[in-house]
Amino acid sequence: MPSFAELTTEFLDAEFDESPVRASSLGLTEYDERLDDLSEAAFDRRRLSDSAWLERFRAVPDADLTFDEQIDRDLVISILRGRQIVQDFEVWRRQPDTYLNPGMTGIFVLFLHQLRPTNELVDAAVARMRLIPGNLADGMRNLRPEMVPEIFLDRAANQARAGARYLREILPSQIDDGPLRARLAEAGEAAGSAYDGYVSFLEEMRPTASGAWALGEERYSALLREKELLRFDARGLRERGQAAYDELATELTRCARKLRGTDDWKQVLDELNEDHPRTPEAMRVGYEEWTEKARAYLREHRLVSFPEGEECAVVPSPPFQRPVLAVASYMSPPPFSDKMLGHFFVPFPPDGAPEDEVQKRLASNSYPSIPTTSVHEAYPGHHWHLVMSKSNPSRLRQTFRTPYFSEGWALYAERMMREQGFFTDLRHEMNQYEATIFRAARIVVDTSLHMGEMTWDEAVDFMTTRTGLTEPTARAEVTRYCAWPTQASSYLTGSLEIARIREAFFAKRGASDTDALRAFHDGITSSGGLPIALAERAVMALA
């Protein structure tokens, strides 16, 4: 029998071999020239491999493991069980963007992180661009019109068009060296033509695309319990989301009364949204300023510790991401590198969007809301968490994390900063509550969609009438929920669980002062991005 360290190494080597784009994102440059195999045979191979690995890890007894290795083993089991639960749903036959993401992300991360000299990055990018037509051909063979939901077609087609422009025009323009730029442009033209062909394929599919996107209550509940290691099922989660919505509506009513003398908090939020940047660059500058203010506040009040050399750049979102993601996002420095620079992506509108849509999207990034989002994405949200987690010695925890912790942490960070007095303007405080009620609404909508109890149109209406979202942002959001079941529920669910663990930590420690708070923050984030039950085990051992 191999040792646990040997078993882990064997497993990760197999994972990286099957997912070279992910390996590159983690900082393993030896995979930079490859793309994921997306053939039908590869999906069958991974299905069998996952089942075999699950059996092997389940067979490892506690007695053979240290405390941290037990957590690592249970982490792997949760990941593999999560894959197993959705295998019969065959996402690879339903979602056209399955065949877009490896090529686009795989090339973008090369130049984002700059882990190799420019000439080597160009070599790797060209190698990956030459493999893109094969990925798209696999998609044309694998996708089944009777399984593809029509709402996924526009999403994928817009992403493919943006990707083609990125490879043809934007990426080559970023290279100063003439011959290298010419190589990228030539390869980009060929890849762009393949994307054009994929768009045509998707348009031809439109009359017959009739698939369902609802994951189903049984699968959704199994993911919550066996992958996320939570104590409740889909219906129980929806009840928690609705109860949280009602509590937060009370807080928003209180804020609305103080600000405008009305109970109509939705109307007040709509008015606050009118105070928004008028250009995407002005929006980016606003986020940059508040990111630095949040960082300085944490230092001044000693709420967290700071890793040496960490830095967060506030930059426009990637062009190929803009058609499918209408909110801010973050990309961490590669875990298997010495880089400490993370990227906070500000949600620029898609290229060519009409001015009316641009202004509506900017209204979803109003000046009163920017402080909360900066906390969520940067300090002490995603960026701070993920640079802290780089110190964990476990290669498994560097490779795998769940949104129920990482997104839960970022929303908890907003709450904690409100509790600690960061939001001194009532408008900012109100928007923090709005950001939270938005996540409560997400729980209600996501569970209802995937249990088959809410239509897409009803979900868009719910998000526009029950939160501060504008209609274009709501449409993009709901389509994302349909394509990524359970993720939208992770934010508030994880936040509430982390707050619960914090109270247990304080009780065991016998203190809740600033030192105890900082110890909790440092300890739970340094454990990685574990399923909630495993994060609790890890941090409570430090109390």
- Report helix, strand or coil for 393: coil
Q: What type of residue sits at position 452? A: G
Residues of the chain with pLDDT under 70: 324
Q: What percent of the chain has pLDDT over 90?
A: 93
> What's this model's pTM, rounded to 2 decimal places?
0.94
Rounded to whole angstroms, what are the CA distances from 52 to 14, 72, 105, 404? 12, 18, 29, 26
Rounded to whole angstroms, what are the CA distances from 349 to 158, 213, 480? 12, 26, 16
Strands 329-331 and 341-346: antiparallel
pLDDT in tens, 215-260: 999 999 999 999 999 999 999 999 999 999 999 999 999 999 999 9
Q: Sign (positive/negative) of CA torsion 161, 478, 429, 312?
A: negative
Distance, in Å, from the CA atom of 335 to the CA atom of 16, rounded to the nearest integer, reads 14
Q: Which residue has the tokens 């000046």?
A: 367
pLDDT in tens, 105-149: 999 999 999 999 999 999 999 999 999 999 999 999 999 999 999
Question: Is the Cβ–Cβ distance between 514 and 533 less than 8 Å?
Answer: no
pLDDT in tens, 401-429: 999 999 999 999 999 999 999 999 999 99
Q: For the CA atoms of 352, 355, 361, 363, what is the dihedral angle to 10 degrees? A: 160
Distance, in Å, from the CA atom of 138 to the CA atom of 462, rounded to the nearest integer, reads 37
Helix residue spans in 274-381 (DSSP H): 280-301, 355-363, 370-377
Within 13 Å and on the Cβ side, how many CA atoms surround 319?
A: 16
Q: Which of 239, 284, 318, 289 is nearest to 489 (CA)?
A: 239
- Report helix, strand or coil for 228: coil
pLDDT at 476: 87
pLDDT at 10: 98
Q: Give the 3-state DSSP-derived string for 400-435, with helices as H, strands as E and coil as C.
A: CCCHHHHHHHHHHHHHHHHHCCCCCCHHHHHHHHHH
Q: Starting at the edge strand that comes first in sequence, how are the strands of the sheet with 341-346 ordered?
A: 311-316, 341-346, 329-331
Q: Which of 213, 86, 219, 103 is nearest to 153 (CA)?
A: 213
Question: Is the Cβ–Cβ distance between 320 and 164 less than 8 Å?
Answer: no
Tokens standing for residue 96: 């056209």
pLDDT in tens, 447-488: 999 999 999 999 999 999 998 777 888 998 999 999 999 999
> Bridge partners of 346?
316
Buried b (16+ CB within 10 A) or exposed e, 308-317: eebebebbeb
pLDDT at 351: 84
The answer to whether the peptide bond before residue 2 is cis (omega within 30 degrees of 0) is no
Distance, in Å, from the CA atom of 80 to the CA atom of 445, rounded to the nearest integer, reads 27
Distance, in Å, from the CA atom of 350 to the CA atom of 165, rounded to the nearest integer, reads 12
Q: Which of 496, 497, 519, 492 is nearest to 506 (CA)?
A: 519
End-to-end CA distance of the chain: 35
pLDDT at 478: 95
Q: In sequence order, what DSSP letters do the residues of 42-65 get, joined into one string?
A: HHHHHHHHHHHHHHHHHT--GGGS
The CB density around residue 455, as the number of other CB atoms within 10 Å, is 13
Question: Is the Cβ–Cβ distance between 51 and 132 less than 8 Å?
Answer: no
Question: Is the Cβ–Cβ distance between 302 and 379 less than 8 Å?
Answer: no
Tokens standing for residue 494: 């994880």
Rounded to whole angstroms, what are the CA distances from 40 to 37, 54, 210, 258, 386? 9, 21, 21, 59, 34
